[in-house]
Amino acid sequence: MNATTTRRVSTRTVLVAGLLVALVLAGVVSLWASASPDGLNRVAGDLGFSGAEQASGAQDGPLAGYEVAGVDSRWSGGLAGVIGCLVVLACTSALMLLRKRSAPRTDGGE
């Protein structure tokens, strides 16, 4: 009856394809991202409160500003993007694992 059961793309395929897209976006496509100030920074500049900005406490970190310290500037931005993706993936997955474990157990599963 249901057409989706006959030629169904597996969840694993969706996940792997999605992650590959994310890595390519962060690692490669990001090199062509616009360097213009974003909406808030532009408005802050135009209306004269951008001077109130203070340097972040994370400003001296090894990945600050999406640049990897000590890596050639050609590769630095893309590498920072890939590292960021992996860190976000790891943190979110860990959080979801905690969520599931603390949830009441249900029978079965996959």
Partner 1 sequence: MHVPDGFLDAPTSLATAGVAAAGIAIALRGARREVDDRIAPLAGLVATFVFATQMLNFPVAGGTSGHLMGGALAAVLVGPYTGLLCLTVVLAVQSLLFADGGITALGTNVVLMGVVTVVAGYLAFRGVQLVLPKRLSMVAPAAAIGALVSVVLSAATFVGLYAVGGAVPIPLDTLLTAMVGVHVLIGIGEAVITFLVVASIVAVRPDLVHGARRVLAVRTLETRVAA
36-56 burial, b at 16+ Cβ within 10 Å, e below that, comes to eeeeeeeebeeeeeeeeeeee
Q: Please report the sign of the dihedral spanned by the C-alpha atoms of residue 89, residue 30, residue 82, residue 60.
A: negative
Per-residue mark of binding to partner 1, 46-85 (x: CB under 8 A): xxxx-xxxxxxxxx-x-xxxx-------------xx--xx
Closest CB to partner 1 among 73 and 103? 103
Determine the Cα–Cα distance for residues 78 and 84; give it in Å rounded to an integer. 10
Its sign, for the CA torsion 34, 37, 43, 45, is negative
Query: Distance between CA 4 and CA 24 in Å, rounded?
Result: 29
Binding to partner 1 by residue 107, rule CB under 8 A?
no
Contact pick of 6, 35, 70, 72 for partner 1 (by CB under 8 A) = 35
Q: Can residue 39 be called a binding residue for partner 1 (CB under 8 A)?
A: yes
Q: Which residues bind partner 1 (CB under 8 A)?
A: 1-2, 4, 8-9, 11, 14-15, 18-19, 21-23, 25-26, 29-30, 33-40, 42-44, 46-49, 51-59, 61, 63-66, 80-81, 84-85, 87-89, 91-93, 95-97, 99-100, 102-103, 109-110
